Amino acid sequence: MIAEAGHYALVLALGLALIQSTVPILGARWRDPALMNVARSTALAQLLFVAGSFAALVTLHVTSDFSVVNVFENSHSMKPLIYKITGVWGNHEGSMLLWVTILALFGGLVAAFGNNLPLSLRAHVLAVQAWIAATFYLFILLTSNPFLRIAVPPIEGRDLNPVLQDIGLAVHPPMLYLGYVGFSISFSFAVAALIEGRIDAAWARWVRPWTLLAWIFLTLGIAMGSYWAYYELGWGGWWFWDPVENASLMPWLAGTALLHSAVVMEKRNSLKVWTILLSILTFSLSLLGTFLVRSGVLTSVHAFATDPTRGVFILLILCIFIGGSLTLYVWRASALKQGGLFAPISREGALVLNNLLLTTACATVFIGTLYPLALEVLTGDKISVGAPFFNLTFAPLFVPLMVAVPFGPLLAWKRGDLLGAAQRLTAAGAAALIAVAVLWAWTRGGSALAPLAIGLAVFVIAGALSDLAERTGLFRLPLTTALRRARGLPRASWGSVFAHAGVGVALMGIVCETTWNTEYIGTMKPDDVAKVAGYALKLDGVSQRQGPNYREMVAQFTVSEGGTRLSTMTPSKRSFTTRSTTTTEAALLTRGVSQLYISLGDTAADGSIAVRIYHKPMVLLIWFGPVLMAFGGMLSLSDRRLRVGAPKPARATQGLQPAE
Amino acid sequence: MIGASAAYAVQPDEIMSDPVKEARARVLSRELRCMVCQNQSIDDSEAPLARDLRLLVRERIAAGDSDAQVLDFLVARYGEFVLLKPRFEPATLLLWLLSPLALAGGGLALWAYNRRRSKSAASEDPALFELTAEEEARLQRLIGTEPSPNNPA
């Protein structure tokens, strides 16, 4: 009954989406406010029905209704409740349902909070939103229906893939999808602007918070996924340049570029056409990511060929939306008026450089991810493009980007003073040089690149702080004045300081972890001691334990440093009987921002066990960086100027400020 | 050997006695794909095939092969697929050149665009900022009729 209700709700949502995708457009054409307002009610109703459908699937999973194929294949009655819930999106059908639920959520948010949007713009935006939704409802209903029944219900389910039975699954996919799908809003705004042939600073002011929101979620989603891989996969890697990761990195790179170009458009009414294109590209890359992950094309081109229905369907959606929006762009973009002029050395110029480097980086990831597929389809040759390729091609793009980051906020709009900015960055530059010198002396004979990279990271962080000091007059003015000015500083300025500092922090973590990672690989018997990076780890013993749906072998280590006992660590290996697979549960001990990491290997006949122990210096900075970036994004999002939304006509005169 | 550089799935019994050769083997391992895994290097992978390849790499190094010879040997045996960083050859030209070309092309386009816009702005300047005869007359009229309060003549 619940399954049928969920299925029916989804069909109704499709019907609503079809209404929402046509009626408001006609309303806008005929200038009929009643028809245009249909968009609002259908968007809200659609959200209601999709949420109902999603709730139905969650209920089926929680109650372990194995008469539903999706539950049977991905659940188990003994599975802990949290994994019964998260298991809903731990499979293809459920994750697609989550995808459309979030899409409907964003549509509903625009409908609910878009009251100060021009009526026709809102109608167009929601209609475009509904086109996307309708195709994905069709996709789910025709190829990936999660509500299908089994004629003879089995007693027990096949359980969820053990690697996914982790709290990471509760957070990572929803975050990632909030990011991916969130970019659909800027896409819809871009397409709506092209249809209307009108775009102004108010448009940018509306698009920017949505882009920012999506970007925050995507940033956190990627970081969370990376940390999950780090502790779950058991070899301590945190980024693998895997096609699935690249699929999320591409929209992030394009979205970051979009965020910056939208600033130029809002403040200076410039780069309009480019911002529209980026909005389209960012969401197109999100769609591409969905295609890559969901079609099975990555596992192998042949896997895709044997069951092509899903893949071909998404490919079709991909072609329609990317092709359609780009055609519309080519056709209509010339109608959009160009904005203000600026000199190459200016805030705008710096943001253009940011965009150039980020989009090139995005193109690099794109070609690296798709080239092997294309080559195999075209010539049949199989090649691999992996981490060594990306590391080699990415660094030359990111180094100039990092160098430029501190300069950008210090340059004035329209025409900047590079020398002046450089003078104001003297302290940051000095801090970077000191860092390089100290590290060089300290790590004598080690990698020459690592101290330089750390210096660059210090420069980025110190540069962000210099920007803050510059704006508040710290060190120049009395402390009380500086504090007052700091309070008065727009939250968006604080946001960019935090976000830029976050980039430096992440870079520092990445360099430290890859350069000064130490490790111990060996077989240990009880009472053996391993020494890693000044820590002594004694294996106390190995015991067996029964979990809810697995058995685990737990090893207990006592960690001490310089003779003092610090803590115990208990890495384990879990065997899941239903799927007859094992997972390694690494044990982590955090010391400051560094971590000790133990993962277990196989046991030998004599009772000794293979262990890998790593000391990863500053490793947590890799994820603190993105968290700082997201925090900066949230600060920026809370800026009053963004919440106000589109400016009222009376305030438009503020645009006529004298040039600096 | 405590405090060595990163090694992941390498088993204790595989490690070569000569640390220099072992370090070379590690670097090479990171560039070779475990062909039964999804996007894992043989240095990361726990698959039996990866172990075989790791041992093969060490065998070749022990036999006195240079790094390039080891890679050639593996490519001859398993095809280009084994390399995680494809070689620069006709089939991978686009792969390697896209990013520098995109950067150069983007930079060039920006330069051309900026030049064109500043030129067209410059050509528009006189028309925009010089007053027409009618405007000039109106201005004179305004100045004439409205005495400035700052200037009590």
Q: What is the pLDDT of residue A464?
A: 94
Contact call for B2 and A518, based on CB within 8 A: yes
Q: How far apart (Å, rounded) are the C-alpha atoms in residues A20 and A128?
A: 9
Residue of B nearest to A363 (CA): B99
Instruction: For residue A656, give the DSSP letter.
Output: -
Residue B121: its pLDDT value, please? Answer: 65
Pairwise pLDDT comparison (B16 vs A464), residue with the higher score: A464
Residue A15: CB partners within 8 Å, gap ≥ 6?
none
What is the band of A167 on the pLDDT scale with cuts at 50, 70, 90? confident
Residue among A226, A235, A65 nearest A154 (CA): A65
Residue A43: per-residue pLDDT? 96
DSSP A185-201: HHHHHHHHHHHHT---H
Q: CB contact, 8 Å: A368 with chain B? A: yes
- Name the 3-class secondary structure at A613: strand
Q: Which residue has the higher pLDDT, A169 or A360?
A: A360
What residues of chain A lie within 8 A of the CB of B85, using their CB? 385-386, 388-389, 392
Is B6–A514 a contact, with Cβ atoms under 8 angstroms apart?
yes
pLDDT at B123: 62
Q: Spell out a b/e string for A258-281, using b for 16 or more CB atoms within 10 Å of the CB, else e.
A: bbbbbbbbbbbbbbbbbbbbbbbb
Mean pLDDT score, A78-107: 93
Judge: B6–A519 Cβ closer than 8 Å, yes or no: yes
pLDDT bin (cut points 50, 70, 90) of residue B129 is low
- Higher-pLDDT residue of A526 and A581 is A526
Composition of chain B by helix, strand, coil, percent to 5: 65, 5, 35
Average pLDDT over residues A53-59: 97
Cβ neighbours for A609, distance < 8 A, ≥ 6 positions apart? A523, A524, A525, A539, A542, A555, A600, A601, A602, A603
Question: Which pLDDT score is estimated for A359?
Answer: 95
Residue A574 has pLDDT above 80, yes or no: yes
Give A107-159 as a 3 state SS string. HHHHHHHCCCCCHHHHHHHHHHHHHHHHHHHHHHHHHCCCCCECCCCCCCCCC
Burial A167-202 (b: 16+ CB within 10 A, else e): ebbbbbbbbbbbbbbbbbbbbbbbbbbbbbeebbbb
Judged by DSSP in three states, A588 sits in strand
Best-predicted range by mean pLDDT (A40-54, B9-23, B132-146): A40-54
Cβ of residue B29 closer than 8 Å to a chain A Cβ: no
Confidence of residue B1 (pLDDT cuts 50, 70, 90): very low
- Chain A CA closest to residue B84: A386
Higher-pLDDT residue of A582, B126: A582
**In CATH, which superfamily holds the domain spanning B12-89?**
Cytochrome C biogenesis protein (1.10.8.640)
Q: What confidence tens digit (pLDDT) does each residue in A205-247 have?
A: 888 889 999 999 999 999 999 999 898 877 778 888 888 889 9
Q: What is the pLDDT of residue A332?
A: 87
Question: How far does the CA of residue A329 sit from the closest CA of chain B (Å)?
Answer: 19
Stretch A636-660: mean pLDDT: 54
Pick A242's closest partner by Cβ from B2, B39, B79: B39
A267 or B122: whose pLDDT is higher?
A267
User: What's residue A644's pLDDT?
Assistant: 54
pLDDT band for position A649 (cuts 50, 70, 90): very low
Contact between A210 and A192 under an 8 Å Cβ cutoff? The reply is no
The residue among A54 and A562 whose pLDDT is bigger is A54
A70 pLDDT tier (thresholds 50, 70, 90): very high
**Averaged over A34-49, what is the pLDDT?**
95
Residue A443, phi then psi, degrees to nearest 5: -105, 25
pLDDT tops 90 at residue A267: no
pLDDT at A299: 64
Chain B contact probe: residue of A230, A235, A612 with most B CBs at under 10 A: A235
pLDDT tier, A304 (very low <50, low <70, confident <90, very high otherwise)? low
For residues A129 and A103, the answer to whether their CB atoms sit within 8 Å is yes
pLDDT at A235: 73
Q: How many CB atoms lie within 10 A of CB A424?
A: 18
Identify which of A389-398, A509-518, A622-631 has the greatest average pLDDT.
A622-631
Q: A-B interface: how many C-beta pairs under 8 angstroms?
A: 117
Take residue A152 and report the two structure tokens written for it. Answer: 């003879």
Give me the mean pLDDT over the A119-134 stretch.
94
Whole-angstrom distance, CA of residue A234 vs CA of residue B2 = 20
pLDDT tens digits, one per residue of B107-120: 999 888 888 877 77
Neighbour tally for A157: CB within 10 Å: 24
Query: What residues of B are in contact with residue A388 (Cβ under 8 Å)?
Result: 30-31, 84-85
Percentage of chain A lying above the pLDDT 90 cut: 56
Tell me how close the Cα of A133 comes to any Cα of chain B, in angstroms. 32
The domain segmentation of chain B, as residue ranges, is 12-89, 106-145
Closest-CA residue of chain B to A298: B38
Other beta carbons within 10 angstroms of residue A659's beta carbon come to: 8
pLDDT at A659 over 70: no
User: Are the C-beta atoms of A96 and A137 separated by less than 8 Å?
Assistant: no
Residue B100 has pLDDT above 80, yes or no: yes
CA distances from A636 to A20, A47, A116, A629, B123 (A): 32, 27, 20, 11, 40
CA distances from A428 to A283, A311, A409 (A): 36, 50, 14
> Can you read off the two tokens belonging to residue A248?
């999320």
Choose the closest CB to A383 out of B8, B80, B99: B80
**pLDDT of the residue at B147:** 52
Q: Please report the DSSP string for A532-560 in residue order.
A: ETTEEEEEEEEEEEE-SS-EEEEEEEEEE
**Probe site for chain B from A274, A297, A384 (most B CB atoms < 10 A):** A384
Taking the Cβ of residue A299 and every Cβ of chain B, the question of whether any pair is shorter than 8 Å is answered with yes
pLDDT band at residue A657, thresholds of 50, 70 and 90? very low
CA-nearest residue to B8 within chain A is A235
Residue A300 pLDDT greater than 70, yes or no: no
Give Cα separations from A361 to A101, A180, A344, B89, B109 (angstroms): 31, 18, 21, 22, 17
Nearest to A386 by CA among B86, B58, B148: B86
Instruction: Check residues B117 and A128 and name the one with the higher pLDDT.
Output: A128
Q: Are A357 and B104 in contact (CB under 8 A)?
A: no
- Rounded-to-integer distance, Cα A420 and Cα A410, Å: 9
- Predicted pLDDT at A68: 94
DSSP state of A600: E
Q: Which of A283-297, A344-358, A642-656, B11-25 has the highest mean pLDDT?
A: A344-358
Which of A363, A384, A531 lies closest to B83 in CB terms? Answer: A384
- Closest chain B residue to the Cα of A245, Cα to Cα: B39
Interface of B with A in 46-105 (CB under 8 A): 79-86, 91-92, 94-95, 98-99, 102-103
pLDDT band of residue B125 (cuts 50, 70, 90) is low
Q: Average of pLDDT values for A25-33?
A: 93
The residue with greater pLDDT, A265 or A52, is A52
The answer to whether A161 faces chain B, any CB pair under 8 Å, is no
Whether A302 shows a pLDDT value over 80: the answer reads: no
Token pair, residue A162, equals: 């053990």
